[in-house]
Amino acid sequence: MKRKSLLVIISMALALSGCHVIAVSSPGHRPVVVVPAGPPAIVVTERPRLVFVSEHGIYFAPDLEVDLYFDHGLWFYFYDNAWYKSSDYQGPWTVVEVKRLPPGLRKIPPGHLKKAFREKETKQKFKGKGKGIK
């Protein structure tokens, strides 16, 4: 019986001799923690002006440099090829899947509304102001 126990212990020792453990706190072997960075904070002094886009049923903030939208009490922010949502326009922001965006927002390419709105404002601003450039 002692011989069997000794044989089992030696077998286990040989089997485990190829295994080793690296302590997390040992120098040079530190774990890498990857925390996805969210979007930068939107810094504004007051609530952004919103414009309703009836064809998409959503509001957007044309005066900001970022793509910021509003729908049913939630703010949506497009940054670095990802969508974020928040209950406040200043965050905190959480990632939201495209399939969870409001239907009207899913149909809008990022940056499109802002560009279209600025072009429309420019046309209205200069409408009837001379004959243009020749």
Q: Where are the domains of the chain?
A: 51-126
Stated pTM of the model: 0.60
Say what the pLDDT of residue 18 is: 52
d(CA 102, CA 56) in angstroms, rounded, equals 9
Say what the pLDDT of residue 134 is: 41
Say what the pLDDT of residue 133 is: 43
Strands across the sheet containing 82-86: 51-53, 58-60, 67-71, 74-79, 82-86, 94-96
Q: What is the pLDDT of residues 67-120, one digit of tens each?
A: 899 999 999 999 888 999 999 998 899 999 999 999 989 988 887 777 777 766
